[in-house]
Structure 1
Amino acid sequence: MAFLSSRRRRARLAPELDDQDLGRLLKTLLATTRTGTIATTDLCVAQISRLLDQDAGDWDRRTHRMGVLADFLAESALARSWAAREPYNADALVLYAWAQVARARSQGSPDDVGDATDTCLRAAELAPEDPTPWVALLAVARLQRWEQPQVFGVWNEVLTRDRWNREAYLSMLGYLSPEEGGTRIQVLEFVDALSARMPANAPCAATELTAQVMQYHSVLARGGFEALVARNHWSHAMAAQALDRVAHTWAQPGFLRHARALADLNLLAYALMAADRRREAGPVFEAIGGVVTAWPWQAGGDPLTEFDQAQRRATAGL
């Protein structure tokens, strides 16, 4: 039991994943905003700007950092203040627009995104090579259920700048899902088209497995008998093949190198346990190292509790 308790203490929700610089910034922002000093906004802006200036051409990491910061600042006035102070700073504009989307999504008010569309387009003009203004605009389009030609137009703008942008592919997957107005056929066609040409370790490599977990969750949500036999989903050819393609490669050291690799490993561990492939899940949990993502674990309740219980079962080899 001491071993299990030690495991439980190490497991933690960490939106920054293994990005230590981003993690330190989140802690500093939290501490700084609590001081209530007059210079709080200036201090926070300087810290955020410094981080975003690192590896400016690493679009994958910038997208990760922008998304995490937007969620973190969704209920704060900081992003708005920065954009108002520096209306010609593309980073400030993107963060403000993305934070508006995060707030509207959390409050269940899709129409309450203010001037996010115009803000994204201004940022795109200021930083024409940067995909993040278009990633943020894609989030707006998804939230407001724009027509498909418009959404695909925005998506193509992202891909022109960052061919395998993880956030863009997952946004399109959500937009095309039956839960958001698309169809299962559209999801399958989208995943098939991607899988035919995507490198095995691309940042968007989790798109196919994400689609399978989303379908599994939709079965669970129906309740009743279907929920009781939902595990059968993973015995179907497409779901089993999606797991087979990644189960023995993703956990290998250095195979996944993108910024949200740990999120993909959480997804893989969850899917393997849902499919009762516990022996294969063990090395994946080891690779995760206790860094837990809320999704998909939260589908069953508290994500840390769900993660710990799954890890125990995998470790016990039951």
Structure 2
Amino acid sequence: MAFLSSRRRRARLAPELDDEPLRRLLKSLLATTRTGMIATTDLCIAQISRLMNQDTDDWDRRTHRMSVLAEYLSPSYLPSAWATREPRNATALVLHAWERLVQGRSQGRLEDAPEVTETCLRAADLAPQDPTPWVVLLGVSRLERWQQSQVFAVWNEVLARDRWNREAYLSMVRYLSPEEAGSRIQVLEFIDALRSRMPANAPCAATELTAQVLQYHAVLARGGIEALVARNHWSQGPAAQALDHAARTWVQPEFFRHAAALADLNLLAYALTAADRRQQARPVFEALRGTATGWPWRTGGDPLTEFEQAQNRAAS
């Protein structure tokens, strides 16, 4: 009956997922900025720096934390203030560049693309083993529509430092889609090449299922009869195979160990719901214990509402 008890737990959007030190930092940053103290900036920077100086060679965890902080602080002056105060601190520079990228995505363009690019390159020079400056630059290259050879050059810089970087693979599968700069054939070739050599539980294991969800969303967006029968997408060859494999393996105890594992389980729960595989979705929701992500649930409306409704259907 454990699942029934988890049903009663109200769903929550938790960008930090199950990263408890990151959750405490976000809570502390919110409380600190509300105080209005004169030393607020110094205190917040010290708190961020303290966390980011932990596990400095765990690139998967570092990328996850940097991504969450950039989103969380995008309306804030803190990343800019930190980079200004410590211009030779690679972490400060990456956070500032990533925060600018988040703002640029929301606006459809970067206000000063050359400056953001230069910030990434300076961070890369200061921390040559760190993949995160290149992860941010990959996002910049997509938003600024660089030539494909340039995008792939940045992509290769990430892989040279972190072979299975989740953020980079998910970025590339979106870049190669026909909705951005590629085609379905390019996505399939990319997935095939990845599948042939990727460890089954690598941080980027959700790349193939992400590609299938993006294609499903593209069908929904076309509207009309295609949207009405969009569920058929999940009964067709590649999509069905990807979903079968994920449903069979991802919920195994200790199968996933990467920082964004709960985000990948959200993706799986969403896809199983879309395919009307309620029985298979049930243990996935049990593993999530109410932790929801904005994407892909927001595609259907309010993400928390969509998550809770899907969870309830899986339990019925």
TM-score range with shorter-chain normalisation?
Answer: over 0.9
Aligned to 1:169, the other structure's residue is in SS state helix
Aligned to 2:192, the other structure's residue is in SS state helix
Match of 1:183 in 2: 183
Structure-2 change in CA distance of 1:297 and 1:105 (3 Å): same
Q: Kindly state the Cα deviation for residue 99 of structure 1 after the two structures are TM-superposed.
A: 0.3
Structure-2 change in CA distance of 1:55 and 1:147 (3 Å): same
The answer (yes or no) to whether the contact 1:60–1:259 under 8 Å persists in 2 is: yes
Structure-2 change in CA distance of 1:8 and 1:224 (3 Å): farther
Match of 1:20 in 2: 20
If the length of structure 1 is used for normalisation, what is the TM-score? 0.96
Match of 1:255 in 2: 255
Match of 1:290 in 2: 290
Structure-2 change in CA distance of 1:259 and 1:34 (3 Å): same
The answer (yes or no) to whether the contact 2:74–2:102 under 8 Å persists in 1 is: yes
Aligned to 1:67, the other structure's residue is in SS state helix
- 2:238 is the counterpart of 1:238: yes
Q: Kindly state the Cα deviation for residue 106 of structure 1 after the two structures are TM-superposed.
A: 1.7
Residue identity in the other structure for 1:277: R
Which blocks of at least 5 consecutive residues in structure 2 are unaligned?
none
Q: Distance in 2 between matches of 1:253 and 1:35?
A: 42
Q: Kindly state the Cα deviation for residue 110 of structure 1 after the two structures are TM-superposed.
A: 4.1
Match of 2:277 in 1: 277
The answer (yes or no) to whether the contact 2:4–2:315 under 8 Å persists in 1 is: no
The answer (yes or no) to whether the contact 1:111–1:144 under 8 Å persists in 2 is: no
Residue identity in the other structure for 2:233: H
Match of 2:96 in 1: 96
The answer (yes or no) to whether the contact 1:8–1:308 under 8 Å persists in 2 is: no
Q: Deviations over 1:237-286 (max 9, x none)?
A: 01000111111110111100000000000000111111111111110110
Q: Distance in 2 between matches of 1:189 and 1:111?
A: 34
Match of 1:301 in 2: 301
The answer (yes or no) to whether the contact 1:100–1:113 under 8 Å persists in 2 is: no
Q: Distance in 1 between matches of 2:173 and 2:116?
A: 22
Match of 1:46 in 2: 46
Q: Deviations over 1:117-168 (max 9, x none)?
A: 0000000000001111111111111111111111111111110110000000
Match of 1:82 in 2: 82
Aligned to 2:81, the other structure's residue is in SS state helix
Residue identity in the other structure for 2:235: S
Q: Distance in 1 between matches of 2:114 and 2:262?
A: 33
Match of 1:171 in 2: 171
Q: Distance in 2 between matches of 1:207 and 1:238?
A: 13
Q: Distance in 2 between matches of 1:154 and 1:197?
A: 21
Aligned to 2:179, the other structure's residue is in SS state helix
Q: Distance in 1 between matches of 2:71 and 2:8?
A: 26
Q: Deviations over 1:102-121 (max 9, x none)?
A: 01112233455461100000
Match of 1:121 in 2: 121
Count of matched residue positions in the alignment of Structure 1 and Structure 2: 314
Aligned to 1:167, the other structure's residue is in SS state helix
Which shows bigger deviation, 33-42 or 153-162? 33-42
Structure-2 change in CA distance of 1:4 and 1:228 (3 Å): farther
Q: Distance in 2 between matches of 1:4 and 1:109?
A: 45
Match of 1:206 in 2: 206
Q: Distance in 2 between matches of 1:70 and 1:151?
A: 22
The answer (yes or no) to whether the contact 2:9–2:289 under 8 Å persists in 1 is: no
Residue identity in the other structure for 1:262: L
Which blocks of at least 5 consecutive residues in structure 1 are unaligned?
none
Residue identity in the other structure for 2:311: Q
Q: Distance in 2 between matches of 1:92 and 1:183?
A: 36
The answer (yes or no) to whether the contact 1:13–1:292 under 8 Å persists in 2 is: yes
Q: Which has the higher contact order (CA 8 A, sep 6+)?
A: 2
Match of 2:219 in 1: 219
Q: Kindly state the Cα deviation for residue 31 of structure 1 after the two structures are TM-superposed.
A: 1.2
Match of 1:106 in 2: 106
Please, what is the CA RMSD of the aligned residues?
A: 1.4
Q: Kindly state the Cα deviation for residue 5 of structure 1 after the two structures are TM-superposed.
A: 10
Q: Distance in 1 between matches of 2:114 and 2:150?
A: 19
